[in-house]
Structure 1
Amino acid sequence: MKVNLRNLDKMLLGHAKKILGEALQLRKEMISYRVLIKKHKPAWEREAYELLKEYLGDLALLGKDLGLIGNLDAEWLCICDLFDGSLNFMCGLKYYAYSLALLQNREAVYGFVVDLDKMTYYRAEKGGGAYIVRPDGVISELREEALRVPANFQVITTNVIIKGLNSTEFRCTALELCALARGAAEIGIGRSWTPEVAAGYVILREAGFEFTDWDFRPINRIPLTYEEIKFVSGSPKTIKELHAKIKSVNDIIVIA
């Protein structure tokens, strides 16, 4: 089925804004974090499933908090975490995001991440490049954004602590991967779960980055199941340089 994925941007951005509005009210009411992740996050993922199914038809969804809806043999698979960094949000901190990827016939074709604090979003389509879209509507290619960054960290980490490198982290996988794509760090090293990684994976690949496991073996596809992904991501040059220094990321991990 041929669809125009660009038409999804407005719909998904609207859904992201709806979720943020509800989350702000829930935080104001002082609900517990457990209630947020057990009740509200699964409900939001089901809403996304219904919205996308109406547009795409034959669809399954693998959500961070809802799990799998539908059959993995469906033409379309949505993999999402619609409030990545939700603990940051509940603590009154920054870095929380709406993160969603689409696979068609098991091939990643679309990645969409909304920074819910800034309402900036990142989007990528297979073969179409990766872009950042600001609230004022200004669109920039992420490859160009990265060239304009005057300084960067050596590493942006995800759920790990490493030794010997200047690093930063957000406690939000989707935004860590998007920050890497826009040049905030030379390389990304981390471990996270399929729904948290999927959209960032699509965006990074379309921005020209490679994805490998901790032993520098290529990761060419997003897993179709809920599983842990241990990854390294960077330009071909930075991946090669790091691999020349270490045989495995396990050699520089302090806590994983």
Structure 2
Amino acid sequence: MTSTVDVTVLADLLRRAAKAEILPRFRRLGQDDVRAKSEATDLVTEADEQAERMIKAEAVQLWPSALFLGEESVAADPDLLGSLEHADLAIVVDPVDGTFNFAAGIPAFGVMASVISAGETVAGIIYDPMGDDWVMAEKGGGAWLRRPDGGAERLSVAAPVGLEHMVGMASTGYLPKEKRAEVLGNLAKVRFLTNYRCAAHEYRTFAGGHVHYLMYNKLMPWDHLAGTLIAKEAGAYAARFDGSPYLPHHLDGGLLITPDKASWDVLRSEVFTV
């Protein structure tokens, strides 16, 4: 259900870009290779830009009918973002998710891509350059951990647990200040809260059944489309804070992902009261 985009070819392209443009620069960035965008913690590196350039160059040759939407392309031309809602076919790419970690020499970053067809996410890929494997999903086909040697393992979310036993991840930095304080106080009700500063690894951890919730407020498509589809194909329940489905063109409204609807309802009413 991926229209004309071959997901295995796209996955291999992400891997080749990582090996050519990202890994050779890890812990080898020069002072001029890292720049701030919107704020001091919102970074772009030479690896982000060169990896996206490589992915885009090949993608537009392979799938010329698809809109290509990359994080760094949008940073250069914000008007591109509005094209996604009306595209018949689109490929959305985050060349280095977790750029802060990458720039700091922390080995928790990933390369993500999703395929959008007629306004719906139909495929998602998260490649881990350090582990050299992918977490992938196509709509209706389940979520899988796939390795370059052909090995594959089907993924499933964790079994639901009570609120006091929940372990998960929440990105509270983009909540309004007064709501952030309220939510952080409410998080004392769960067992554990963490944040990897890398949605790619947070989605992989969730889809592998290791945590019970993910929460995000800012919804840029390259950060969440692939991971949300993978989570849902692994059995998760996902919705924006008002209970509506998360769609490719949504940029706000929050996102809460849990193993089932009952867990979502409890977290929404008891913790994420935004």
Q: TM-score, normalised by structure 1?
A: 0.80
- Assess, with a 3 A threshold, how the Cα gap between structure 1 residues 105 and 34 changes in structure 2: closer, same or farther: same
Q: Please state how far the C-alpha of 1:182 moved relative to its aligned partner.
A: 0.5
1:19 equivalenced with 2:24 (yes/no)? no
User: What is aligned with 1:41?
Assistant: 48
- Structure 1: gaps (5+ residues): none
Q: Please state how far the C-alpha of 1:52 moved relative to its aligned partner.
A: 1.5
Higher mean alpha-carbon deviation, 113-122 vs 30-39, is at 30-39
More strand by share: 1
| Pairwise CA RMSD | 2.9
Percentage identity across aligned positions? 22
- Counterpart secondary structure, 1:65: helix
User: What is aligned with 1:164?
Assistant: 189
- Aligned match for 1:241, one of 247, 263, 273: 263
User: What is aligned with 1:209?
Assistant: 236
Summarize the alignment of residues 86-235 of structure 1 with structure 2, pairs less than 5 Å apart: 86-134=99-147, 136-143=149-156, 154-160=167-173, 161=184, 162-165=187-190, 166-192=192-218, 193-215=220-242, 217-223=243-249, 227-228=251-252, 230-235=254-259
1:80 equivalenced with 2:93 (yes/no)? yes
State the aligned residue count: 241
Q: Distance in 2 between matches of 1:87 and 1:146?
A: 28
Could you tell me whether the CA contact under 8 Å between 2:241 and 2:253 is conserved in 1? no
Q: Distance in 1 between matches of 2:145 and 2:139?
A: 15
Could you tell me whether the CA contact under 8 Å between 1:112 and 1:123 is conserved in 2? yes
Could you tell me whether the CA contact under 8 Å between 2:143 and 2:231 is conserved in 1? yes
- Structure 2: gaps (5+ residues): 37-42, 75-79, 160-164, 174-183
Could you tell me whether the CA contact under 8 Å between 1:80 and 1:199 is conserved in 2? no
Could you tell me whether the CA contact under 8 Å between 1:158 and 1:191 is conserved in 2? yes
Q: Deviations over 1:41-84 (max 9, x none)?
A: 24432332221122222121222222138954443212221101
Could you tell me whether the CA contact under 8 Å between 2:14 and 2:127 is conserved in 1? no
- Counterpart secondary structure, 1:247: helix
- Counterpart secondary structure, 2:196: coil
- Assess, with a 3 A threshold, how the Cα gap between structure 1 residues 71 and 231 changes in structure 2: closer, same or farther: closer
- Counterpart secondary structure, 1:18: helix
Relative contact order, higher structure (CA 8 A, sep 6+) = 2
User: What is aligned with 1:56?
Assistant: 63
Q: TM-score, normalised by structure 2?
A: 0.76
